[in-house]
Structure 1
């Protein structure tokens, strides 16, 4: 897609486009986004913070005035937009030595979102605290009505840098409109627990999802036999991992479905992957330290990713961060798991991110182009999208954006209990297309 704003800075353009994408569910106004972007000095991170923070402050002040005058809908809409603008303001401030502006803008984003949530009459949006180990995880429970009727339920969490509040625009409202109960939450390493409890990411995500499902099973509006899990961005690694162990889930959705996050951690290290991982495991590797310093000096995307990664992973140097990321490869588990026993929908976005970031979405043994030609006898035809997915990851079926071929995901779940240690069989909702004979 052509960069309509910030033509020389893909980071700024991508985050601007991110805000624009929230317009559909009230998270932004096109005029406010464009006018804010026009005031920002390209590649100046202080300017980015200053202008987005100013827009957020103006919009939230207008919302306060509307609420005081009794205009609840206008106030709700203003608080929603302000919440997203505050989130955008603090985005590039993440780092191991956390900028105090980061905490303040994040807290304002949460405050504005909770103010908006309190003004909703349909759906009901209730801030919740989910018991987790010796503390709690923050989230929002979306109920379609007050009837107490059990409904199919969607658990949603973000990934490397998104918030639970942003999930309102990323699918929570859309799911409620379609009859789901929704729980959007922040897990360890995500903004709420990282800011206020110091919790960092952990690879064994099933130990996060299990207490979340325990909490949901106490909610009358939740149909315990139809609970699905959706993970966004790096959550596309974490959600399938959790689903491999947590058999109470009826389905799992990975958006994007990352195959190997470790690939991004070694792509700029000299040598092949085996040599790169050897350097990462070494107690001392001066050449690795020098390579990472060079990357951070010349690549602003890598610099932001490493600084943010150190913050959310709880490490103090880039090499230590690089050592952690390969642990998220699906074959590097600390204990054995069966393939995901649930219907699984894996979605891939468009080519907005730079190529190296997209590479993590694809298993290395597959061709670069998902429509790559394959041989059948003497003739070649494009590889059907779903068959490509089956080869790509047999237990994760890829559903591409083709509405005539792919029916809506239906959460089906057998009613009979399964013995401990035995895998439950779920009917597949994403099937391969019928084979066609070559003429």
Structure 2
């Protein structure tokens, strides 16, 4: 049994929002109440419990707005956006569930209402990219809303949306004196849910368009642009920094060599030779069958690889997924990074296993930032102590932009 939800997989999804409490997300008691309402009833009940909580917060926000209580209305709309955002992870998959799209639209509507109520309104933006529209927000530094400041571009990974990125990082960036730009790219948020555009490996092309857009904003210092990626965004941001050299600092939480490497040992376990495992496109059908059976017997892997992975990549088979995984790599490109790098190393995060290997190939100043279970920050993306991660990240960025790291 998980912390707040009886089902371990639902608990993994449902406890993400704990990281958002310091930044205006739902309180612990509200999250616990959603867990209690879900009970033993699975993904459908999970979805309904989150939506009901979001509807309550949105109704309270409307009531506050009608009485002129702007700050309360802002906070409640933003809180509602987290409830809606948390509802749909268990129903990931192709074809896209209409309930997911409905919840996402409620999420964005509530987020937009809340962000517009800041003294300096934060309004939705659109980044044009290869015929698609990437939703974005420029979040100014608190107290410096009309001044040129350093900018952090935040990029999501597989699961997050602009709402996650706002609460996980952009709100903290604002408090620490940084402007930020958050967006959903191919395979993320509305670009996936509503436009059906899958993720792509060459994230440097995506970030090039985002940097072009950022440089048109009047408050951005072109010499002080950082790129920060969390979860699979740790790969995406790192890949981007190998090809987009207007980035002056890179934060990878955690850094990842790519997508395929984690599957190689599994392939060997199922009978592949090391040579075959070195290129997952060459795996024999019997090995693919064994891998599929292994995934089907593990609810977490079934969700991550079949429901999420195939959908995000626009694929239909695990064989296709393993093959395309070979394209998502920074092998041979690490030496192309030209800016200082910060890499998180949470002690219980298996996805950070390649950190030292990457560090050994870097030709620029870098910092490996450890996080421990004793600090409450030892898990993936430090979600149980996100504030610690944010404090250390922005302290490091301050040092980079002050010229203290060369």
Query: Where on the TM-score scale, by shorter chain, does this alignment land: which range?
Result: 0.7 to 0.9
- Contact persistence 1:28–1:84 (CA under 8 A): yes
After superposition, give the CA deviation of every residue in 1:154-207 in whole Å (9 maximum; x if it has no partner). Answer: 101110110112111111011112221110111111112112222211111110
Number of the residue aligned with 1:398: 368
Structure 1 segments unaligned to the other structure (5+ residues)? 352-357, 367-388, 415-425, 430-439
CA distance in 2, matches of 1:412, 1:32: 39
Structure with more helix by fraction: 2
Q: Report the equivalent of 1:20.
A: 18
Q: Please state if 1:195 is matched with 2:193.
A: yes
User: Which is further off, 188-197 or 207-216?
Assistant: 188-197
Is 1:37 matched up with 2:35? yes
Task: State the distance in 2 between where 1:263 and 1:289 align.
Answer: 16
Residues 322, 390 of structure 1: alpha-carbon distance in 2 compared, 3 angstrom cutoff: closer
SS in 2 for 1:346: strand
Give how far 1:98 is off: 1.6
1:287 is the counterpart of 2:275? no
Give 1:113's aligned residue.
111
Query: Residues 214-256 of structure 1, C-alpha deviation per residue, up to 9 Å, x if partnerless?
Result: 1111111100100000011001001111111111111010012
TM-score of the aligned structures, taking structure 1 as reference length: 0.79
- Offset, 1:149: 2.4
Residue of structure 2 in register with 1:330 after alignment: 330
User: Residues 234 and 292 from structure 1, CA distance in 2 versus in 1: closer, same or farther, beyond 3 angstroms?
Assistant: same
Give the CA deviation at 1:261: 2.4
TM-score, normalising length: structure 2: 0.85
Q: Which residue of 1 aligns with 2:343?
A: 346
How many residues in Structure 1 have an aligned counterpart in Structure 2?
A: 382
Contact 2:259 2:329 in 1 (8 A): yes
> Does the aligned pair in 2 maintain the 1:154–1:227 contact within 8 Å?
yes
Give the aligned partner of residue 97 of structure 1: 95
Give the counterpart of 1:154 among 149, 152, 155. 152
- 1:59, distance to aligned residue in structure 2 (A): 1.6
Deviation at 1:41, TM superposition (A): 2.9
Shift of 1:139: 0.6
* Residue 409 in structure 1 maps to residue 397 in structure 2: yes
| TM-align CA RMSD | 2.8
Match of 1:259 in 2: 257
Question: More deviation in 287-296 or 236-245?
Answer: 287-296
After alignment, is 78-87 or 60-69 more displaced? Answer: 60-69
Aligned to 2:379: none
C-alpha distance in 1 between matches for 2:362 and 2:299: 32
Could you list the runs of 5+ residues in structure 2 that have no partner in the other structure?
A: 373-387
